[in-house]
Chains A and B, each alone.
Chain A
Amino acid sequence: MSNAAVTASAPATNSDKSILARLGAAFVGRLVIIVPYVWLLFFFLVPFIIVFKISLSQTAIAMPPYTPVLDFKDGISGFFAGFGALSFDNYAWLTQDALYFNAYVTSVIIAAISTVLTLIVGYPIAYGMARAPATIRPTLLMLVILPFWTSFLIRVYAWIGILKPEGLLNQLLLATGIISQPLIILNTYTAIFIGIVYSYLPFMVLPLYSSLEKMDYSLIEAAKDLGCPPTSAFWKITFPLSLPGVIAGCLLVFIPAVGEFVIPDLLGGSQTLMIGKTLWNEFFANRDWPVSSAVAVILLLLLTVPIMFFQQAQARAQEQDK
C-alpha cells in the first residue's frame, strides 16, 4: 500500500500532503486491526476471565450475589492476598452432586445423537441440491437459508403445536388409523432430537452442499464404468470427498447443541436434563452465580477441543478459497 502512496505523490508540490496522507493511511491501517481487536478482547475474552474468577468465589446473599476475590481495590498486595480466598468449593460441589455430572453426560450424548441424525437427514438434501440443474441451485440454496432467517424461538414453538398429545401429528395419525392411542412425544428426549435436527439442519446442509458442489462427478462415472456398484462408489468416492463439509457441519451442530437451552426447555419439559438448562436454572431460579459460573467453565473446557477443531477447519477452508 505504501508504495502506491509514493506513486501518488509524484507531483513535487503535493509531497507534504502525501506524507500526511501516508501517515494517515498507516494510522487508519492500524485502526482497522485495533478497533475490532480491542472490542473482542473486552467483550469476549475478558468476560471469560471474569467467569473463571467468579467461579472461584463464595456464594453470598447480596447484589451481586457473590463475594469478590482478586479485587484490585486494595492495590497489588490486596490482589495477591486475594489468592488465599480462592476456593474450589463450587467445583467440589459440582462433583458431589450427581445431577451436574449426569447433565453434562446427557448433553454430550444428546448432542452427538442429534448430530448424527442431522447428518443423516441433511446429506441426501445437500446431495440432491448439488446434483440439481445449475439454474435452480441458487433458488434451492435460498430455500435452505430462508428458515434460518425466521426466529429460532418461533421454529421451536411451532413444534409444540405439532407434537402435543392433542397436537396435529397425533390428530393426523389417529384420523388415518395408524395409531389408536395418542403418542407421547412432547416433553421427552425424542422431542429434543426432533427440535435439534429441525433447528440446526441448515447448518449441516450448507457446508455439505458447498463441498459436494465442488466435487467432480466424472469420478463416479469412471467408477461405474469400472464396475463399482453405486453404494460402494458412494462410500469410496463421494463421502471421503465431502468429508470437510461433513466435519464442518457436524461441529456447527454439535458444539451449540451441547449447551442448547431453548429446545430442551420448551420441547423437553421438566423431565429431561441438559447442562444449558441446568446453568439457566442455577442462575435465574437459584440465583447462585458462582456455581453457574463453575458450570460454564466446565462446559467451556468440555467444548475447547471441538471448538479448536472448528477453528482449524475454518482456517483450512479459508486457505482453500484463496
Chain B
Amino acid sequence: MNTTWSRFNVTSIVLGFAFLYLPIVLLIVFSFNESKLVTVWGGFSTKWYVSLFHNQGLMDATWVTARVGVISATVATVLGTLAALTLTRYTRFRGRLLFSGMVFAPLVMPEVITGLSLLLLFVAVGLDRGFLTVTLAHITLTMCFVAVVVQSRLVSFDRSLEEAAMDLGATPVKTFFQITLPVIMPAIVSGWMLAFTLSLDDLVIASFTSGPGATTLPMKIYSQVRLGVTPEINAACTILIAVVAVGVIIASVANKRREVQRQLDERAAQRG
C-alpha cells in the first residue's frame, strides 16, 4: 500500500509518545536523586534503593503481591481460556447472552463496584478477608481479560487443522492439546502476562477484599503516597517498572521468534 507519512503524522506520534513516556522517565530519573525532595535534583545516588530493601513492610507486601499475582494469573488463564473457547466454539447454548455479558462487563466495570460487591459476597459466605479473598477477586477480574485476548486468537484460527487431526484419528481432547493449544499458546502467554500485571497493579479491588496480613504492594504504595511523595516510592516504582519491562520484552522476543519459525515452517511445507 502506498502510505504517505506526512510531517503532521510524525509530529503527532512524537508528541504522543513524549506525553506517554515523559512522566515515567522523570519518575525513574528522580528515584536516583540524592536529595530527599523528589523534584529538586541533588546529585546521583542509589541510597533509596538500599533503604527500600530495609523497609520490611514494603518487602512483605511485595512478597504477598507476587504470590497473589502468580496464583491468580495462572488460574485466570485456565478459566479465561475455557471462557474464550466457549465464546468462539459454542455459538448456541442456553444462557450464552448472559455468559458473554459476564465476560465483557468486568472489563469496563468501575473497580469500586467490583471490589465492594466481591467483599460483600465474601462476608455473606463467611470467608475471612485475606490472601485467599484477594486471589479469588483477582482471578475473577483478570480471567475476563484473558478470555478477550485468547478469543481474538481463536477467531482467526484455521479450524481445518483440527478437522484434519480428527480425520486422522485424534480424539477431540487430543486434538485440543496437540493442535489447538500450541497454536493459541502465544495468546495464552500474553493473557497470563496481562493477568499478572493487572493483579500486580490493582489497588481498589485489593483494598476492598484484602484483610490483615495480606497487604499488597499497591496498597502499601498508596498509603505512603497519601503521606507524601518520597524518592523511596520512586525507587519501588522503578523496580516494578523494570520487572514488567523485562518480562514484556522477553515475551515479545519469544513471540517474534516463534512467529518467524512458524512462517519458515509454513514456507517449507508449501515448498515440500
Contact = CB atoms under 8 A, between A and B. Distances in A.
B173 A259 contact: no
Given A129-B13, A149-B197, A32 B120 contact: no
Interface in B234-249: 237, 240-241, 244-245, 248
Nearest to A44: B102
A151 B9 contact: no
A280 to B, nearest CB: 6
A128 B10 contact: yes
B4 interface: yes
Contact of B201 (A25, A152, A283, A296): A152
A300 B106 CA distance: 12
Contact of A158 (B24, B100, B102, B244): B24
Interface stretch (A79-87, A173-181, A239-247, A308-316): A308-316
A142 B252 contact: yes
B44 interface: no
Contacts of B241: 150-151, 154
Contacts of B229: 157, 160-161, 164
Given A32-B82, A261-B204, A47 B121 contact: yes
Nearest to A40: B102
Interface in B66-103: 79-80, 82-83, 85-87, 89-90, 93, 95, 98-103
B11 to A, nearest CB: 8
Contacts of A168: 26, 39
Contact of A153 (B19, B21, B98, B218): B218
Contacts of A42: 121
Given A43-B136, A276-B112, A132 B5 contact: yes
Contacts of A143: 17, 20
B187 interface: no
A4 interface: yes
A256 B110 contact: yes
Interface string A284-322: 100001001100100110010001001100110010011
Nearest to B78: A35
Contacts of B105: 44, 307, 311
Contacts of A255: 108-110
A41 B9 contact: no
A255 B170 CA distance: 45
B102 A45 contact: yes
Contacts of A162: 23, 26
Interface residues of A, number: 101
Q: Dominant SS at the B interface?
A: helix
A185 interface: no
A233 to B, nearest CB: 13
Nearest to B16: A125
A40 B27 CA distance: 38
A1 B172 contact: yes
Which residue among A51, A153, A266 has the maximum number of chain B CB atoms within 10 Å of its CB?
A: A153
A46 B248 CA distance: 35
A201 interface: yes
Contact of A296 (B100, B113, B155, B156): B113
Interface stretch (B47-55, B56-64, B161-169, B264-272): B161-169
B178 interface: no
15 contacts: A4-B166, A8-B166, A25-B172, A33-B93, A44-B102, A47-B120, A54-B120, A125-B17, A128-B10, A131-B5, A149-B193, A153-B203, A153-B221, A157-B237, A158-B27
Q: Which 4 A-B pairs have the closest CB atoms?
A: A259-B110, A4-B166, A124-B12, A47-B117
Interface of A: 1, 4-5, 7-8, 10, 21, 24-25, 28-29, 31-33, 35-37, 39-48, 50-51, 54, 64, 121-122, 124-125, 127-129, 131-134, 140, 142-144, 146-147, 149-155, 157-162, 164, 166-168, 171, 198, 201-202, 205, 217, 251-252, 255-256, 258-262, 266, 276, 279-280, 283-284, 289, 292-293, 296, 299-300, 303, 307, 310-311, 314-315, 318, 321-322
